[in-house]
Amino acid sequence: MSVHLYGIVPADASLPSDVRGRQTDPIRTVRHGSLAAIVSDVDPDAKIGREDLLAHAHVLEAFVEDSTVLPMRFGVLLGSDDEVAEQVLQAREERLLTLLKEFDGLQQLTIKAVHDEQEVLRVLVAENPQVRAFRDSVAAGGESYQAKLELGRMVAGGIEQIEQADAAYLIDQLAPLARDIRIEDQAKRKYVLDAALLVSRDDRAQVDAAIARIGRELPPRLRLRFVGPQPAYAFIDAALEGEPVWD
């Protein structure tokens, strides 16, 4: 057997009840000084499936309800609890304590905004006379194949402009709710907006209510997907970039 690492918490963090780790094994903490590592036993030769990834995330999200968590990337295995204490907690004690203090009481909320494609097309045609006229001409059979391609380019460009405007509006609405905000690069993301908000646990009720209000007030073409609380993945990953244990 090997020991799977989920993340780092303060040594006095409580184990969440009724939470199992990978391969349905019970989780435990390995302590060193003021630090604790969340771990469970795993069979290192077992095939890794989606349920393993979900279990890893579920354990971390159960802890973050009441504790500050430094999440470990999936797949970090060591040979024993002693190795965890020595190679992770003791070896990086000062850095980990600094990060726990820096992120004390902070959680991540992940916001994804998606478009209803048909509604976006309806808005584009209604608000852009040039696209509307071109579309009608093509539909009547009065345009060439090249013209149809040009219509496609016009539609794609119009949709991109709507996406950019909607993303900018959402950022303006969401940023004041958070201590910090990270926006996924537009070239990489699959959504109108993919944002991580860093918020205080103490502010969660107000932030949740504000996000719900923003969602209700959006035009029909836009929908928000809201996940949280989570460990501050996007912010801690940036802080830990280059740390051997997280690579």
Segment 31-52, tens digit of pLDDT: 999 999 999 988 888 888 898 8
Q: How far apart are CA 113 and CA 186, in angstroms?
A: 12
Whole-prediction pTM value?
A: 0.79
Locate all alpha helices (DSSP H) within 74-203, ordered by sequence. 81-83, 93-102, 117-127, 129-139, 145-174
Length of the chain: 247
Structure-block tokens of residue 203: 């502010």
Specify the pLDDT at position 192: 86
Res 197 pLDDT > 90 = yes
